[in-house]
Amino acid sequence: MNFNAITIRDIAKELNLSVSTVSKALRDSYEISEKTKKLVVEYAERNNYRPNPIAQSLKHGHSKSIGIVIPTIENQFFSQVINGIESVAYNSGFNVIITQTHESYDLEVKNVSHLARRSIDGLLISLSTETKDLEHLKKLHKQGLPIVFFDRVSDEIETHKVIADNFKGGYDATKHLLESGYTRIAHITSPPNISTSKERLAGYNQALAEAGLQVPEEYIKHCLHGGRDASEIENVLTELLSLEKKPDAIFTTSDRITTTTLFLLNKLKIKIPNDIALIGYTNTTFADVLNPPLSSVYQPGFEMGQKAMEMLLNIILSKRPVIKFETLVLPTRLFARSSTACKRLV
Amino acid sequence: MNFNAITIRDIAKELNLSVSTVSKALRDSYEISEKTKKLVVEYAERNNYRPNPIAQSLKHGHSKSIGIVIPTIENQFFSQVINGIESVAYNSGFNVIITQTHESYDLEVKNVSHLARRSIDGLLISLSTETKDLEHLKKLHKQGLPIVFFDRVSDEIETHKVIADNFKGGYDATKHLLESGYTRIAHITSPPNISTSKERLAGYNQALAEAGLQVPEEYIKHCLHGGRDASEIENVLTELLSLEKKPDAIFTTSDRITTTTLFLLNKLKIKIPNDIALIGYTNTTFADVLNPPLSSVYQPGFEMGQKAMEMLLNIILSKRPVIKFETLVLPTRLFARSSTACKRLV
DNA sequence: TTATATTGTGAAACCGCTAGCATAATTTGG
DNA sequence: CCAAATTATGCTAGCGGTTTCACAATATAA
């Protein structure tokens, strides 16, 4: 790794000093004379000496790196979150190790344990759709690993959390459809065990209830893997379309589900919004150039990443154990585009 | 970091053995009796002992982690590359540290030096658009850091490289436009210093030459930051559109440039392909649902990542210095969609 | 029974860096 | 001019593993 890199010993030998003197000189200790410091520092610079971080980590017991566990990097929302995390981590001298679960519980467990073994100083995680059991995290949390949840959180572990206002997101999207004249509103979402689905569903229900509407149960569809495979979505969509009382609008959650639904509707030559209106969660920058331009709920991914990292730093850097935890809720934004244009009354 | 984790010493004390015996038992050394091994291993498992990787790294001089430097994670192509890298790295027990340059030379230098200090065992890099000077990499390479380039490579450093067939990609796209009846084909691309631009441009030129066509110089536009800011693209597009002899087709490179161009053309209410046809490099899964469905050159991102990582492992794991290097060229795929439908003869 | 081979265990050095403390060198005060 | 105080430097232990080598214990052969 460090390829014949120069060590503190080399410097000591070369300059006829002891290792400790060199070390202290490099760290600008008050114990060392200015003259010696200058000598050492200049020699070090000339030979571009770099302290071995591994040795440093071993010495003072932290690695200056944090782990990130997310479903997948390919999702624009999550890559924006990562950008946010990175921007803060970078400024604080922290390294970031990213791992993906691809929505698999097993992979999540593996990644988490892998990271823990890599001696990370803290963990930032958004749960996979499959995750129901939190033991793998609880154990580490008990052992003292600082953890911050973002987006897909759990209340089984008490720590800082950052989420978007999922209830309001679901409520706003549904209300927007209602206001545009749609009443038979279906909902395609991720499994009910993950926090975001639950909250968005609650918002959806609330909006319907306020409008005095009740939709059949078959209107609510969960994709077990959050739409990881297109077939998941194809199946639920087929079900929806073969209902006696076909929905006139669909509200989808998550980038994957949203764009795949759009794709499938197009493929089936179903006109949007004339046959079926569509609004969905997405953070893609393409929403405007889709066919048709897609109404969407946008989540502040970058900010979420920043906040999560700040909270994690707060725990890591705290001298005494943190016992008061906070759940930060970030606002979402609704963009109305033509995929939910007002219903044409026939 | 390792939070009161159990060490080999704890086990030794508890079992009345020496540290070395425990260590050897855990590593299944032939020197240790089966009885003792069993005792130690079981105790370790019961108390879920995990060797401290930092200590291990310090000991045998490698960190089992590799660094990745890419322009940006948000680009679908690069996130697919990462997935490919990860899939191979994971199976070989390697960790992956991802950093982004956001197309900035300064950030690239910083990230590379940061990674080098983190004692990575190898580096996978795709250069930023701004990078012209390779000193930061040459130095490390000379010091013995295994490096593999992918996508945006340089021939100033002799090592393994993986690229897509950029010449053919550019050639095919241009030829496709020609065959669809377009003749005034403009080209919006990244700065001429990066390898991919050069090669795609060469392919474009070749196709035009073969057709006996010559386009004005003003048809070729370089975005200094690869379209990092929409304004870059807006500017060159305005220039193209205000030309006396307006182009009837545009061939774009890179996800960012392609989708932004599409967005801007839509915004300007320029009909695609009637007013101007568009074909571009992109790895987005949305190409089909864009407005209009977008003809594109697709690059095998995942495979590129896999191959790059395999090559890196090849260098890292090699007992003797590697001196024969290879440049692997992966084929691209052209998808013809309606954005390049045959020109209607007026 | 004694010498020799075999096997299991432990002491200690080491990876590179840090930090407390001892010691040497220098300055200051009486 | 010597003792005390100050300042600069070096010794050493330790972070948590791994590994070489010495040694003790046991088995085998003569």
pLDDT in tens, A71-81: 999 899 999 99
Give the distance from residue A279's alpha carbon to the nearest chain B alpha carbon, in angstroms.
Answer: 15
Domain architecture of chain B: domains with CATH = 8-59 (1.10.260.40), 61-164+301-331 (3.40.50.2300), 167-298+334-340 (3.40.50.2300)
From the list A63, A259, A288, which residue is nearest B1 (CB)?
A: A63
Torsional sign, CA A230, A233, A239, A240: negative
Task: Encode pLDDT of B301-322 as tens digits.
Answer: 999 999 999 999 999 998 778 8
Q: Are B37 and B28 in contact (CB under 8 A)?
A: yes
Nucleotides of D under 7 A from a protein CB: 7-12, 14-21
Q: Tell me, in Å, how far CA of B44 is from C1' of C10?
A: 20
Residue nearest D19 (alpha carbon to C1'): B20
CA of B12, C1' of C1: distance in angstroms: 38
Q: B36: which nucleotide lies closest, measuring CA to C1'?
A: C8
Helix (H, G, I), strand (E, B) or coil at A290: strand
Give the per-residue pLDDT at B2: 45
Q: pLDDT at position A119, please?
A: 76
Kindly list the residues from chain B whose CB atom is less than 8 angstroms away from the CB atom of residue A302. Answer: none
- C-alpha dihedral (B333, B339, B342, B346), degrees to nearest 10: -160
pLDDT-derived band at B4 (thresholds 50, 70, 90) equals low
Rounded to a whole number of angstroms, the distance from the CA of B123 to the nearest CA of chain A is 11
The separation, in Å, between residue A65 CA and nucleotide C2 C1' comes to 63
With contact defined as beta carbons under 8 Å apart, do B56 and B8 qualify?
Answer: no
Distances (CA, A) of A221 to A95, A236, A243, A298, B222: 39, 6, 13, 21, 47
Nearest CA in chain A to B115: A95
Task: Enter the pTM of the model.
Answer: 0.88
For A16, other C-beta atoms within 10 Å of its C-beta total 7
Task: List chain A residues with CB under 8 Å of B144.
Answer: 3-4
Q: Which of A4, A57, A289 sits opposite B143 (nearest CB)?
A: A4
Nearest CA in chain B to A316: B1
Interatomic separation, CA of residue B58 and C1' of nucleotide D21, rounded (Å): 22
What is the model's pLDDT at position A268?
94
Q: Around A195, how many Cα atoms within 13 Å sit in the side-chain half-sphere?
A: 17
Residues in B closer than 8 angstroms to A77, CB to CB, are: none
Spatial distance between the Cα atoms of B247 and B219, rounded to a whole number of angstroms: 7
The DSSP 8-state label assigned to residue B345 in this structure reads P
Give me the mean pLDDT over the B289-304 stretch: 96
Coil vs helix vs strand at A180: coil
Q: Which nucleotides of C are covered by protein (CB under 7 A)?
A: 7-21
pLDDT class for B96, splitting at 50, 70, 90?
A: confident
Smallest CA-to-CA distance from A50 within A26, A71, A73, A34 is with A26
Of A63, A119, A289, the CB nearest to B290: A289
CB neighbours of residue B67 within 10 Å: 26
Measured from Cα to the C1' atom, the residue closest to D10 is: A18
User: Best interface-test mutation with A: which of B123, B289, B315 has the largest number of A CBs within 10 A?
Assistant: B289
Q: To probe the interface with B, which of A135, A289, A296 has the most B CB atoms within 10 Å?
A: A289
Residue B278: is its pLDDT beyond 90? yes
Average pLDDT, chain B: 92
Task: Give percent of chain B with pLDDT exceeding 90.
Answer: 76
Shortest CB distance from B55 goes to which of A58, A74, A291?
A58
> Collapsing DSSP states into helix, strand and coil, what is residue B298?
strand
| CB contact set of A280 (below 8 Å; sequence gap of 6+) | A173, A250, A251, A252, A253, A254, A257, A258, A259, A261, A262, A294, A295, A296, A297
- The answer to whether the Cβ–Cβ distance between A98 and B95 falls below 8 Å is no
Smallest CA–CA distance, residue B265 to chain A, in Å, is 10
Determine the distance in angstroms separating the CA of B325 from the nearest CA of chain A, rounded to an integer. Answer: 20
CB contact (8 A) between residue B1 and residue A291: no
Alpha helices per DSSP H over B92-215: 105-117, 135-143, 166-179, 195-210
Shortest Cα–Cα distance, B310 to chain A (Å): 18
Look at strands A65-70 and A95-100 and give their pairing.
parallel
Residues of A in contact with B266 (CB under 8 A): 288-289
- CB-CB under 8 Å, B290 with A290: yes
Binary contact (B266, A288; C-beta < 8 A) = yes
The encoded tokens of residue A314 equal 């707060």
Residues of chain A with pLDDT under 50: 1-2
Residue B1 confidence class, pLDDT cut points 50, 70, 90 = very low
Digit-coded pLDDT (tens) for B218-241? 999 999 888 888 899 999 999 999
Distance in angstroms: CA B23, C1' C6? 22
pLDDT at B203: 97
Q: How far apart are CA A306 and CA A301, in angstroms?
A: 9
The reported pLDDT for the residue numbered B3 is 57
Helix locations, chain A, DSSP H: 8-15, 19-26, 34-46, 53-60, 76-91, 105-117, 135-143, 166-179, 195-210, 230-241, 255-267, 301-317
Three-state SS for B109? helix
What is the least distance, in Å, from the CA of A339 to any CA of chain B?
13
Size of interface A-B (CB pairs under 8 A): 133
Tell me, rounded to whole angstroms, the distance of Cα A160 from its chain centroid.
Answer: 14
Query: Which residue's structure tokens are 């993986």?
Result: B162
Least confident of B51-55, B150-154, B319-323: B319-323
Residues in contact with A132: Cβ distance below 8 Å, sequence separation at least 6, in sequence order: A105, A193
CB < 8 Å to A98, chain B? 96, 98
Instruction: Tell me the C-alpha distance between B127 and B147, whole Å.
Output: 12
DSSP structural state of residue B47: T
Cβ atoms B126, B151 nearer than 8 A: yes
